[in-house]
Amino acid sequence: MSEKTISPRAIQIGDWTLVTELNLLRRAGKEVRLEPRHADLLLFMSARCGDVISTEEIIQRVWKGQVVTDHSVYQAVAKVRKAVGDNAAQPRYIETVPKRGYRLIAEVSEIPDTDDRDASSGSAPASGPSQKEVKASPGGAGIRLWWLSATFALLAILLAVWWFFPTPGDGHAPAYRTIAVLPFTALSERETDR
């Protein structure tokens, strides 16, 4: 089976919803936080749902070329199983295929919309404008981002002016100092005092 394109925001895996942005599993009001690597493993396996995936392929795709052993994959799979309440002897989510790898056997479906994700997790949508409304409004995130960028640029210019052009009396000394050496002259009229 070929790799499916799945929404990176939320995925329904069996009874659980994986919120990939937060590395979070949700089910009936319960939340389980995953380590980022374990969330990546579950995301990769959900894209290949039903396929047997070798440990070498998991290392290549999830660990992205880092040098790890099969034991690292075994531990990661064990932690994901524990998070979803799965049992290796009677799997409902991840099946071990001896000498070949692992297979995600739970049903997988994508949750394309933010509102659907909130409804499936059992939590009420947040009050106030949604992300879509904020982006579409005239005072939305785009304008705020522009103002923030302009403010930082102005601060950078002011800092550069202050740094390279010091004002008198601000404690900055000039880069060089001069000393005037004048000849000695006698201030008294007597020659012996000289």
Average pLDDT, the chain: 76
Question: Is residue 89 in some structural domain?
Answer: yes
Model pLDDT for residues 134-166, shown as the tens digit of each residue: 333 344 556 777 777 888 788 888 877 766 776
- Pick the more confident residue, 94 or 185: 94
- Confidence at residue 125, expressed as pLDDT on a 0 to 100 scale: 40
Question: Is residue 45 in some structural domain?
Answer: yes
3-class secondary-structure state, position 113: coil
Residue 40 has pLDDT above 50, yes or no: yes
Question: Is residue 163 in some structural domain?
Answer: no
Report how many domains make up the chain: 1
Range of the domain at 30: 10-135
Query: Nearest to residue 47, comparing CAs of 104, 113, 116?
Result: 104
Distance between CA atoms of 57 and 64, rounded to whole angstroms? 10
- pTM for the whole thing? 0.54
Token pair for 157: 């210019």
Per DSSP, helices labelled H in the chain are 36-47, 55-62, 70-84, 114-120, 131-136, 141-164
Question: Is residue 86 in some structural domain?
Answer: yes
CA distances (Å), origin 102, targets 5, 32, 73, 184: 20, 22, 10, 96
Amino acid type, 105: I
Mean pLDDT across 28-35: 92
Torsion of CA 143, 148, 149, 154, to 10 degrees: 130
CATH number at residue 96: 1.10.10.10
Least confident of 50-54, 74-78, 157-161: 157-161
- Pick the more confident residue, 128 or 4: 4
Model pLDDT for residues 92-148, shown as the tens digit of each residue: 999 999 999 999 999 998 887 554 444 444 444 443 333 333 333 344 556 777 777
Distance between CA atoms of 31 and 38, rounded to whole angstroms? 15
Question: Is residue 180 in some structural domain?
Answer: no
Question: Is residue 189 in some structural domain?
Answer: no
Question: Is residue 122 in some structural domain?
Answer: yes
- Confidence at residue 177, expressed as pLDDT on a 0 to 100 scale: 58
Question: Is residue 147 in some structural domain?
Answer: no
